[in-house]
A and B are shown apart, each in its own frame.
Chain A
Amino acid sequence: MAETLLKVEDLAVEFDTRDGVAKVIDNLNIKLDAGETLGIVGESGCGKSMTALSIMGLVPIPPGRIAGGRILLDGEDLLEASEARMRQVRGNEISMIFQEPMTSLNPVYSIGNQIAETARLHEGLSRADAHQRALEMLVAVGIPAAEQRINEFPHQMSGGMRQRVMIAMALACQPRVLIADEPTTALDVTVQAQIFDLLNDLKDRTGTAIIMITHDMGAIAEMAQRVVVMYAGRIVEQADVDQILTDPRHPYTQGLIRCVPHLTQNPTVERPPLLEIPGVVPPLTHLGTGCPFAPRCQYADAQCRAEMPPSKPIDDDHAVACWLTERETAA
């Protein structure tokens, strides 16, 4: 068993909105071991990105509020840490890359400048050393002709190249955790595969643990060892990636997997119609007491609508929060 690097315990995040308090994250528990990739999956608005921002200490407060819980990095509670300490953590021990490579780099500074900035900030490197580090990072993330491109500006690069630059920037100080928030959503499919390969390769070389946030089950299959499925700010299922893909228990997880379109080997065979999960994520301000997925769940009964199902382990490293599985395993 590898050592646990990052542990989120009972995290709750609330936002004040015009319609009342929205519980965007409730009772969230995840752990990340050194050197592993943890996938967090769910639809838009399920709290994936907010989980990432909470770990980074970047939840906008107000209107946001950390309502409870702990985020432990090597036993240090980041929610208790000072802003000065958090600045040391960000970009140095925990880094993050974002969904929009087109707009996530500052348009008026060269990419070399932006990568070197991180190294100078956290490691106090000289200008020349930081430049050298930036160059090494660009080579490491596979930017061709890095020596010329280091002086280029973001607008001179394609989306895939910019995401590589973001990765170079995030890894410049060899962080222990990299949070990748939908890093490939804005990119072409072929470029997506390249970015996955790059991240896997860098993880193997540097031992950086990755939290991979996505709504794409394909990306999870490609990258993750363990998977957390989130719905409406709660974890509904977590397991090893193989178990999630072959034996999903929660109706929501099953729905997500059914939604992945398949290419058939034989184009003459009629493909099954593309499935969807009917309905949308309910407003987080009015969740009620029952399972938040109940209104969209074909198996939902009175108990589902009335009571929140607790997360129960059904196997080693496989836990589900669903009354249905609860009753099945009890029977």
Chain B
Amino acid sequence: MQFLTVVIRRSLYAFLLLLAVIVFNYTLLSMVPGDIAETIAGESGGASAELMAEIRRSYGLDQPFYVQLFGYVGRVLQGDLGSSYYFNVPVLDLILGRLGPTLLLVITALLLAIFTGTLFGVIAAQRPNGIFSHFITILALIGFSAPVFWTAFLLIILFVSMVQIMPLSGLADPLTESGTWQWYLDVAHHLILPVVSLSSIYLAQYSRLARASMMDILGSDYIRTARAKGLGQRVIIYKHALRNAVIPVITIAGLQFSHIFSGAVVIETVFSWPGLGTLAFESILRGDTPTIMGILFFSAFVVIVFNLLTDLAYRIVDPRIRHSGTA
């Protein structure tokens, strides 16, 4: 019951936050220099004064700002994100069409970072002065300081141009028929470099985090209790310690989902991955405001929902939070 109250209250907060994001985005983008009517007119090839006026009227650009704002918020709440000035199709359709590849990239990268990072950390924590532990420290330093696009280019140089075992860009080879098992394999092949580059930062962070929290936990009283019970090392590590050690990793991973989304914009652009990031990047170059706003709204939506889910997942893993109504 208490859990349900928390879910409802959190969802309400999330909704209000989302509303604020829409208003903020719209205000910010309307302050960007450049005339939207000119962009639209430019796409249709002519720019007479009548045409400009006509465009302004039909897109509502002649209305006062607050009318435009309320109109936009109202339409968004009804699920209408407007139409792209460039493609002239509904922004929502555009986003949904690009969503799959982005989610595939982001979620694979996040899961890879969480699982490998935790595993690395757990192994390193058992021999804090061993070679593997030092390797983790160095890996973390590199992963943390290297910008993702730089990592991506290094990987391209290494595995595309020098060793030539990885494809350069795209989702799959255009000649492979979509839907066949060869196509799935090809997508997986194309996925490797973007995922590795994107997860490098997070992998480094999570392995360091997991190492630190694991070392802390291995010295705790309840691990001593577990030893005094006669449990073996494996059960102590993977039952008693791991579940406690994974709590901070889950928290951080949830909070960082927004970072990983923005990282995806860069990675998608580098690898021409046909996802939301590439769409966002190109829309900015094209001055396609409704699409940009749509993507901003959508990513805010995803981030907020994800934070909500993290919070709930956290409650399931950690009974101390599960039973407290607040927090």
Contacts and interface: CB of A to CB of B under 8 A. Distances in A.
Interface of A: 56, 58, 86-92, 95-96, 98, 100, 103-110, 117-118, 121-122, 153, 155-156, 166, 169-170
A213 B48 CA distance: 95
Contact of B230 (A88, A105, A107): A88
A90 to B, nearest CB: 4
B227 interface: yes
B244 A108 contact: yes
Given A90-B227, A104-B224, A117-B231, 19 more contacts: A58-B227, A86-B230, A87-B230, A88-B230, A92-B230, A96-B228, A98-B221, A103-B221, A106-B225, A107-B319, A108-B243, A108-B244, A109-B243, A118-B229, A121-B231, A153-B323, A155-B319, A155-B320, A170-B228
Contacts of B231: 87, 91, 117, 121
Contacts of A87: 230-232
Contact of B229 (A103, A107, A108, A169): A169
A103 B244 CA distance: 13
B221 A100 contact: yes
Contacts of B281: none
Interface residues of B, number: 20
A54 to B, nearest CB: 13
Contact of A153 (B221, B225, B228, B320): B320
18 contacts: A58-B227, A86-B230, A90-B227, A91-B230, A91-B231, A95-B228, A103-B221, A104-B221, A104-B222, A105-B225, A106-B240, A107-B319, A108-B244, A118-B229, A153-B319, A153-B320, A155-B323, A169-B229
B216 interface: no
Given A87-B232, A108-B318, A166 B225 contact: yes
A89 B227 CA distance: 11
Contacts of B230: 86-92, 118, 121-122
Interface string B183-209: 000000000000000000000000000
B317 interface: yes
Given A103-B221, A153-B320, A90 B228 contact: yes
A105 B227 CA distance: 12
Given A98-B224, A166-B225, A169-B229, A107 B244 contact: yes
Contacts of A166: 225
Contacts of A121: 229-231
A286 B244 CA distance: 40
Nearest to A87: B230
A56 B227 CA distance: 9
Interface string B300-327: 0000000000000000011110010000
Nearest to B244: A108
Contacts of B25: none
B255 to A, nearest CB: 21
Contacts of B19: none
B224 A58 contact: yes
Contacts of B228: 56, 58, 90-91, 95-96, 98, 170
A103 B222 contact: yes
Question: A-B pairs with the 3 shortest C-beta distances?
Answer: A90-B230, A91-B230, A91-B229
A71 to B, nearest CB: 16
A247 to B, nearest CB: 36
A169 B229 CA distance: 8
Contact of A117 (B224, B229, B243): B229
B112 interface: no
A107 B227 contact: no
Interface in B240-266: 240, 243-244
Nearest to B320: A155
B94 interface: no
B182 interface: no
A118 B225 CA distance: 11
B175 to A, nearest CB: 51
Contacts of A103: 220-222
Contacts of A100: 221
A96 B232 CA distance: 16
A117 B225 CA distance: 12
A116 to B, nearest CB: 11
A118 B235 CA distance: 12
A220 to B, nearest CB: 23
A105 B323 contact: no
Nearest to B228: A96
Nearest to A153: B319
B226 interface: yes
Nearest to B225: A104
Contacts of B320: 107, 153, 155
Contact of A156 (B225, B229, B323): B323
A226 B228 CA distance: 25
Contacts of A106: 222, 225-226, 240, 244
A98 B222 CA distance: 10
B194 to A, nearest CB: 35
Contacts of B244: 106-108
